[in-house]
Structure 1
Amino acid sequence: MSRLGETRRVCRVRLPNVPLAMRSNVRVLGVYAAGALFAAGWWFFFDACVRSAHAQQPPPEGEPFTPPPVAIKLDDWAPGLCTMIGLIIVNLVDKQHLFDEGSLHDWGHDPVLWRARTWLFVGFACLAGGMAGSLAVLIIKYMLNEHAVGYVELGVAGVMQNVAMMACAMVLWFSQRTESDYEYNLTL
């Protein structure tokens, strides 16, 4: 038997309470964290691009040079760009259209809600397609290619880039759903 006012713990481990000073800045902290994730993702990939370009450079004259069998090309760039386009689309959708009280009951006749959901689907499809593409490049180009031994980290950097950008999209999504200090809801 449970009482309505009773509070029960869901987890065995008690999670720490968020300090009151941080509660008012959750949105700002979320945006900063998302920016850091986005920058970290591209940092991983640009680092792999620099290492790939450095491996393509011939040594000084007189030393034998065989170029590496794999290098970062367009097929490595495409998943990250697709994920970035998905990130932009998902965060451009006005979430107010998705969570309006009137649209939740009569969603079959609201064209704005349908357009918002369609664009959101396209954005999440781009995010998923970019992630799947980076995994495909990692597996096909770097792991199954017997000549690419020692260059797997180039493919791993592409996957890490996409994981960071998908995490960025999630953090932005949830941080933009919180109320800002400058938003006021006036209802009568």
Structure 2
Amino acid sequence: MSRLGETRRVCRVRLPNLPLAMRSNVRAMGVYASGALFAAGWWIFFDACVRSARETQAPGEPAPVAIKLDDWAPGLCTMAGLIIVNLVDKQQLLDDGIGDWQHDPVLWRARTWLFVGFACLAGGMAGSLAVLIIKYMLNEHAVGYVELGVAGVLQNVAMMACAMVLWFSQRTESDYEYNLTL
């Protein structure tokens, strides 16, 4: 039997609370962490591009597989999704119960753009996995070049994590935001 005043734990492991100094800067830390994830994703991909351009099979002979537009497209699609998702005003997504959300054009457009953004994120991830499998794993000439495809997948994973961290860190209230209601 549970009592109303009893607090029950959901997880077996008790997670530590953030120190007070860190709690006030959670939003800034989230923004910085998302920027680091974004930079790390592109860094991994650019490193693969440089390695792809320098590798040759034999002296004077180009490598059988190189990074081209099909490797770039998933990352650009994911970046477009990241931009779209984080440009949507989160306050417009809240249904305050005033009217029917199906007839509210602002709420409808905000949710539609959010769906388009998440679809771009998912499409970029699926595209990078498709490039990895089709171009680098199933291609018999690409033996030894699989890490170029893995770099594209890691880039998209980092950018999707960046989108999630930035989404949740921007949902928290800032010290510089005030809600004035009359």
Provide TM-score, normalisation by structure 2: 0.95
Measure the CA separation in 1 of the matches of 2:5 and 2:91.
Answer: 31
Q: Which stretch shows the higher mean deviation, 169-178 or 6-15?
A: 6-15
1:186 Cα deviation from its structure 2 partner: 3.3
1:27-73 Cα shifts (integer Å, max 9, x gaps): 100000000000000000000000001115x9xxxx84332110000
Letter in 2 for 1:171: V
SS at match of 1:108: helix
1:6 counterpart residue number: 6
Residue 83 (structure 2) pairs with residue 88 (structure 1)? yes
1:168 counterpart residue number: 162
1:19 counterpart residue number: 19
1:75 Cα deviation from its structure 2 partner: 0.2
2:131 counterpart residue number: 137
1:187 Cα deviation from its structure 2 partner: 4.1
How many residues are matched? 182
1:5 Cα deviation from its structure 2 partner: 1.9
1:85 Cα deviation from its structure 2 partner: 0.4
1:42 counterpart residue number: 42
2:121 counterpart residue number: 127
1:67-93 Cα shifts (integer Å, max 9, x gaps): 211000000000000000000000000
| CA RMSD, Structure 1 to Structure 2 (Å) | 1.5
Measure the CA separation in 2 of the matches of 1:6 and 1:139.
Answer: 52
Letter in 1 for 2:153: V
Distance 1:67 1:174, change over 3 A: same
Match of 2:61 among 60, 66, 79: 66
Letter in 2 for 1:163: V
1:166 Cα deviation from its structure 2 partner: 0.2
Unaligned runs of 5+ residues in structure 2 are none
Measure the CA separation in 2 of the matches of 1:68 and 1:179.
Answer: 51
Measure the CA separation in 2 of the matches of 1:44 and 1:166.
Answer: 14
SS at match of 1:18: coil
Moved over 6 A (4+): none
1:182 Cα deviation from its structure 2 partner: 1.0
2:28 counterpart residue number: 28
2:144 counterpart residue number: 150
2:52 counterpart residue number: 52
Q: Which stretch shows the higher mean deviation, 74-83 or 5-14?
A: 5-14
Task: Determine if contact 2:95/2:101 at 8 Å carries over to the other structure.
Answer: no
Provide TM-score, normalisation by structure 1: 0.92
1:114 Cα deviation from its structure 2 partner: 0.5
1:108 Cα deviation from its structure 2 partner: 1.2
Indicate the percent of aligned positions where both proteins have the same amino acid. 88
Match of 1:101 among 89, 96, 104: 96
Letter in 1 for 2:52: S
Distance 1:68 1:130, change over 3 A: same
